[in-house]
Structure formats: structure tokens, C-alpha cells
Structure 1
Amino acid sequence: MGDRVSVTTTKSALIEQGHWLTVRDCKRVLVVVHTVTFAQRLREVFDLLEADLRVQLVFTTAPHAFGAGVTQFLQDLGIATVPWDEALRAEFDLALVAGSRGVHELRAPVVRISHGAGHNKLLTDVSRLAPGERRSPGMLSPQHLLHEGRVLHAAIIYSHTRALEELAVSCPEALPVAHVVGDPCVDRITAGAPRRADYRRALGIEPGQKLVVVSSTWGRASTFERLDSLLPQLLGQLPGEGHRVAIMLHPNVFAGHGAWQVRGWLAACRGRGIAVVPPEADWQPLLIAADWIIGDHGSLTAYGTLTEATILLTAGPRREVSDRSPAALLSAVAPVLLPGHPLAEQLEYAARLRGPGQYDQVAQTLSSAPGEFHRRMRSVLYRLLDLGEPAFPPLVAAPPLPPALTRWEARAGEGAAR
């Protein structure tokens, strides 16, 4: 009982700035986390503020259909959260968000962060579109950026200048607060690329073995939706000694269906040497280490163009993807996997087919400021907080070494409940 009271008191202290706090007179920044995916991207932003004694970070989890796992993800980082309703009643100097739900209720200037590779998926909720109005990707649409005709945000963060060109057509009202700062995943993958051999050793890839990473976004026409045709190929057609396989699913797949159910659907992987990477894991080292990436129109496949891997696509939903997005560009240059042909032969053929610079055009659409995200993002934050920046450059670190794939390979005899 005493522990529970202590946690509640800590939450109230962060909200009320009571006299019991040790460090006072801080700028207060609210970090609003809707999903695990948003949390992973927001971490690149709030880490820029964590060491500054002039800034107090406060975290809250906002209601969302895919919110499962968020609290545990934050707890694993040592982060306590305040209740959403308390956060809405309090005032903050700044709020960081990667989603739009509930943002109009916040009592703070809001910074909205893009959370994927470019802007691939077109708006799915078309109920508020006027007759004849074009569908835009969510982060470029009035439905996500305006509330009652007014811009919701003090700053909207984009990775590429192409977004501003599209924004000028889809939601010109947001242009004055739009900032192009680059992409943190591009910068970290680039920083980690020289460590490819280290990542492969850490994952347990033996000399001569090849790593096949299967990547899936969530929703219709994703790799996971078509796994019933792909999984038998992975299980039965790849030589056991020559290949290692890792499946990386979008966190929304786990949040939407439940981790128990997803593990149950992938029960055939048990004891067959296929690793199912948990949603909270750092996926970047696996992309860097991969020899092949089998993916869909999701962000991870697009980020794969920055690596040495050969990319094969599963059939995608062309009408659901923006024709200017990295996913659309990749679909024009990457071969498509067909279930009627031996998988190993398709992998080898795609590797032979790949030419130098094949993915360069796609990779260049991911960031128009490579290597600059952390510096530019920090400048935006401190300008909005009306604080001088720290007198040292922000660190762009390579992704840490991953655990061995065997840690994520379910062993024979394990039940789905595990």
C-alpha cells in the first residue's frame, strides 16, 4: 500500500510542481504517447532534452486503439506516466506528440513528429473529405493537422522538403509551422552501417550463413496478412544450415490482435529456427545485418534501401499508397515475390539482379537532411522553449548490439501462451 501511495504522490508532484520537488523552476515538457511505434520515434526527440536540468519531462499515455504495450515500453525505460485526464488539466511549456488523437485538448504548444519513412499510406478515414477532395497521407492532411479550421501545432516536423511541396497543395495553412529536420532512423542506420559485421556476430549469424528478414506493416495487403502463403515457403524451402530467418511485425499487429494470438498464429515457427522479433525491440540492427529483406509498403522495407540487403516485395495495395512515397518508388525497382516459385531461387535471382545504386532514388526520399536530424530537431525544441541550447552537439549514436536471434526463436514444445 505504501508503494502505491508513493507512485501517486510522484505523479501529482510532476503535475502540480509542488514544494516537495528538488529541482524547481523547470520548463515542463509533456510527452504524449499513443502507441509503441510513436514511443519509439518520440524517444529520438525527448532524449535530446533528458540531460538538461532546466527541463522536466512528463509522460502520459493517450487513448488509442493500438495502445497496448505502451505502458510496459515506458516502464522498461524507467519512465512513470501521469494519467491522461490529469495531463489535460495541466499547463505545459511544450508538448511532444506523434499522433493526432486528443491533441486539440492539450494546454501547451504542440510539436508533431512524423513517425515513419516518408508518407506512404493515404488517409484511411475518408468520411470527412469533401466531394472530389483528394486523399493525402495522414501527416499531410487537414484532417490530421487542423481542428475547427485552425492549425493544431506550434511546429510540425518533416523529414524531406518534398513534404512541403505536398503540404502546399493539401493543407497550406500548416506551412508556416512546418520544419524539415531529417529522419533519425536514416541517421542511425547510416551510423550503424560500418558495424554490420558486429551486428551479425551478435545475432549469431555464422560465417557463410545468410539472414532473411521478413518485414510487415499492419493492415490490409501487409506481409502478415499474406503470411499463410509465405510462411510455408519460409519453413519448408530455405536450407536450414544456410539461412537464418527473422520476422519483424509492426507493433500495431501485436496491439490490435494481442501478443498471445500473434504468437499462436506463428506457432509453426517454434523449433524451426525462425525468430519472431518482439515489437519493443530495436529493429535497425537487423536491417543492417540482413542479406535479404522481404517486405511490403511499410516503413521498414523503405529503410532497408539504406543497407546492403536485397529487397523483395510482397504484393501491395497500390491504391492505398501515395504515388510520391518511398513505398511507391520502391515498387518500381524491387522485384516482387511470387508464391508459385521456390523461395530460395527467387532470393538468389533478386540478389543477382540487383545493380549498383538500384535503390538510391528511394533512399534519397527518406531524408533531405541526412545526418542533421538531432541537431535540427534540438534547435526547434529549444527555440520553442525560449532556452539557449546546450554548448555541445547532440550525439548520433549507432544502434546498440542486438541480442542473439535464439533469444527470439520459440523453442519446440512451448505453448502459445508463452
Structure 2
Amino acid sequence: MEEFLRAAEGVVVPWEQAVRERFDLALAAAYGSIDRVHAPLVVMPHGAGYAKGHPTSTGRLSVYGLDGQRLVRDGRPVPRMVVLSHDSQLDLLREQCPEVVEVAEVVGDLSYDRLVVSASSREAYRDALGVGPEQQLVVVTSTWGAGSLFGMHLDLLERLMDELPPSRFRVAALVHPAVWFGHGPRQVKAWLADCVDAGLMLFTPELDWRAALVAADRVIGDHGSTTAYAAAIGRPVLTVERPAALALVPDAPQTRLGEVAPALRLDVPLPEQLDSTDADPVLAEEIRARLTSRPGSAACTLRRSLYRLLGLSEPGAHRALSAAPTPRKWCRS
């Protein structure tokens, strides 16, 4: 991870030093030891909302990221602000961690908003990826863990490269960064080397995944956030089975998508299933409605709140939310 951050031209401070310094503002999308950070702290989800949890001894579901174990110390909120994407998350927080409700704010979903803005760049993305006018782009997306698409159906990518005629289809893969950095980029590339040789476009972690979703014609995914984002912007989605032990929040978009989206069948030819999977505007609207309560407003609301925490006046001129960058790696010369 340190190597990745340095490649992104960030200043990397060792944790041992970071917890001794004072900062004007800190942003966190994970929750381990955040009480040791000396700064006004903002915590936010690192995916599509707060979807995962674990059963408690009482049988109730404790939602990861909205629980008192991580957000409260000595009866007081650790963060100065908890970023929420949906009003339903405020209800969850009120139920399982009421001490933090006073510092929570529903701002919407920044990634969804940026996907919407990026729609106008769809043809530029497709051109950069080498997708011809007569071709369909199939994007395969996987979260991390043994129950993910990558963990349960790694051979699916090989099947796609074997069964989909290249004259009609291009295939791209989006794999969660935890897979890349858990196993190491060298190992991930080694597992998929034959597929890449056959034409698979493997998005490495530094490439913006949103460009692939906007460019896609079909998406095959698991219970991860990226699949939910694809459905929310109207992409036809096929889902693989989810692990039986997986505990998802009932109102989460990932949960609803797994209940109603067409399921990929491994005993049926893949081209046949892709051709028969069409866009569903009703499903797209339902997933979007569960994804964000403030569509289009996340950047503006979050910016205003961060300036407030910094104790600074918000500048009068604001740059509009930009589209995801074009994946230059595959641009034609």
C-alpha cells in the first residue's frame, strides 16, 4: 500500500509518526485505531454505503462502520463527522450508536454522482478501450474475499475469453484493491496472464474503475459495491451467487440487487445469457434510490462541511464535478 500511495504522488507518513502529530483535518474510510488520530476526523464509507455487518449475541445485525465499538470512546464520538449516503443509514446509526447521531450528515454518494457526470464521456472511454461500434463491452467486477467472484469463480474469466467471439465482445475485469495488495500484483497478473494474452483488459488499481462501468454494455458481478453502482446507472447486470454466511444490511442496494437481478448460470452458454440480459429502468431506479438520498449533491455538501471543520471560509468559485479520467493505458496510438 505504501508503494501504491507513493506512485500516486502522496506524502506517506509512518503510522507511528502520524499518531504523534496534530493535523488540521483527517479523512478515514476505515476505522481501526482512529481514536489515536489527533485531528478533526471525518469517517466515510469506502464503498456503496454501509452494507456489511455481523450478527450479535442478541441476533441483531451490527453494521460495520456504524457501530459504537469503532466510533465511540469514553461515551463520546471519536469522529467530528460521520458521512452517510442515505437517510436509512441515519436510522441505523440512531439504533445502534445513538451517541454519534449528532455528528452524522447525509451528503449522498460521490461515486454515483461522478458516474452520472461521466456518462457524457462514454464514447471517449469506449474508444480508448478499443471497443468497436459493433462490439459489446462486458465488464466483470469482483470484491475481495473467499466468497467473492474472484474467490469462487476465477475460471469464469477464462470461460468468457473462450466463449465470447472477439468480433462481438471485449471483456474487462475490475478486481478489488484488497485482492491486488493481499496477493500482490505479480500474483494477480500471473493468475490472469492467459486471459490477458487472449484480450482481457485488466484494470490495475491506479486506473479509475468508473470509466469501465460507464463504457460497459453488460456487467457480471458479485455482492460488491461496483456491481451496485453498475445497476444504479442502468447497466444490465448478471450476478453470481453470494456466500450463504454473508451478512448484508436488508436495505442496502447490494442486498436488493442480489434478490432481483438475473443470476448467472454456469450451466448455460455465456453468450446466450449476455444477449438475453437487457437494461431494466425500474431496477436501476430502485437501486439508485437505495444508494443515495441526495443524488447530485455529494460534492457540494461534503466540500461545505470540510471547510467548516477546517474553520475556513468556503471559496466562492467551485469547480464542477469532473468526469472520470479516460483509461489512457489502452488508448490507440
Distance of 2:330 and 2:69 partners within structure 1:
41
Indicate yes or no: 2:11 matched with 1:80: yes
Aligned to 1:206: 132
Q: Is 1:391 aligned to residue 322 of structure 2?
A: no
283, 307, 322: which one aligns with 1:382: 307
Corresponding residue SS for 2:301: helix
Once the two structures are superposed, what CA deviation does each residue of 1:318-377 show, in whole Å capped at 9, x if it has no partner?
5422221111111222100011110000111122xx443222111122111111111111
Contact kept in structure 2, 1:251 and 1:280, CA below 8 Å: no
Query: Matched residue of 1:347: which SS?
Result: helix
Instruction: Give the whole-Å Cα distance in 1 for the aligned partners of 2:330 and 2:199.
Output: 9
Structure 1 counterpart SS, 2:326: coil
Q: Which structure 2 residues correspond to residues 266-345 of structure 1 after superposition, within 5 A?
A: 266-317=192-243, 319-345=246-272
Taking a change above 3 Å as real, the CA distance of residues 261 and 77 of structure 1, as seen in their structure-2 partners, is: closer
1:89-145 C-alpha deviation (Å, 9 max, x unpaired) = 12223222111112111122211122111222224xx7xx5x315222211222232
1:367 maps to which residue? 292
Shift of 1:385: 1.7
Structure 1 gaps of 5+ residues are 1-68, 408-418
Offset at residue 405 of structure 1 (A)? 4.1
Aligned to 1:106: 37
Q: CA deviation at 1:394?
A: 4.0
Which position in structure 2 is the counterpart of 1:96? 27
Q: Which residue pairs with 2:191 in the alignment?
A: 265
Q: Distance in 2 between matches of 1:159 and 1:300?
A: 15
Is the CA contact 1:160–1:366 (under 8 Å) kept in the aligned structure 2? yes
Q: Residues 277 and 122 from structure 1, CA distance in 2 versus in 1: closer, same or farther, beyond 3 angstroms?
A: same
* The one of 36, 48, 61 aligned to 1:117: 48
Equivalent position to 1:178, from 86, 90, 104: 104
**Counterpart residue type for residue 118 of structure 1:** G
Cα pair distance change 1:239/1:176, threshold 3 Å = same
Contact 2:86 2:294 in 1 (8 A): yes
Aligned position for 2:275 = 348
Secondary structure in structure 1 of the residue aligned to 2:276: helix
Q: Considering Cα pairs closer than 8 Å and 6+ residues apart, tell me whether 1 or 2 has the greater RCO.
A: 2
CA distance in structure 2 between the partners assigned to 1:346 and 1:136 by the alignment? 37
TM-score by structure 1 length? 0.75
On the 8 A contact 1:305/1:362 being kept in 2, the answer is yes
Correspondence for 1:55: none
What is the rounded CA distance, in whole Å, between the counterparts of 2:253 and 2:5 in structure 1?
30
Alignment of 1:26-105 (within 5 A): 69=1, 71-105=2-36
**Aligned to 1:218, what secondary structure does the other structure show?**
coil
* Aligned-pair Cα RMSD in Å: 1.9
The alignment-based identity, stated in percent, is 40
* Distance (whole Å) between structure 2 residues aligned to residue 378 and residue 281 of structure 1: 24
- Does the residue aligned with 1:252 lie in a helix, a strand or coil? helix
> Does the alignment pair 1:165 with 2:100?
no
Quick check: 2:158–2:195 contact (8 Å CA) kept in 1? no
The size of the alignment, in residue pairs, is 331
Deviations 1:383-411 (A, max 9, x none): 1122111111242011121225489xxxx
Secondary structure of 1:341 counterpart: coil
Maintained 8 Å contact 2:127/2:331: no
Go from structure 1 to structure 2 and tell me whether the alpha carbon gap of 1:114 and 1:262 turns closer, same or farther (over 3 Å shift): same
Q: Within 1, Cα distance between the matches of 2:203 and 2:133?
A: 22
* Unaligned stretches of 5+ residues in structure 2: none
Task: Indicate conservation of the 8 Å contact 1:246/1:405, yes or no.
Answer: no
Matched, 1:255 2:186: no
Q: 1:143 aligns with which of 59, 69, 82?
A: 69
What code does the residue aligned with 1:145 have?
L
Cα distance between partner residues in 2 of 1:232 and 1:199: 24
> Once the 2 structures are TM-superposed, how far is the Cα of residue 81 of structure 1 from its aligned partner?
2.1
CA distance in 1, matches of 2:44, 2:313: 22
**Contact residue 120 and residue 297 of structure 1 kept, 8 A:** no
Call closer, same or farther: CA 1:361–1:221 in 2, change over 3 Å.
same
Specify which of 146, 166, 173 is matched with residue 240 of structure 1: 166
Q: TM-score, normalised by structure 2?
A: 0.94
**AA paired with 2:206?**
E
- Report the AA paired with residue 363 of structure 1: R
More divergent stretch after superposition (245-254 vs 371-380)? 371-380
Which of 323, 328, 332 is the matching residue for 1:403?
Answer: 328
Q: Whole-Å Cα distance in 1 between the matches of residues 192 and 326 of structure 2?
A: 26
User: Contact 2:31/2:65 (CA < 8 Å) preserved in 1?
Assistant: no
- Quote the Cα distance in structure 2 between the aligned partners of 1:258 and 1:201: 30
Paired letter, 1:285: A
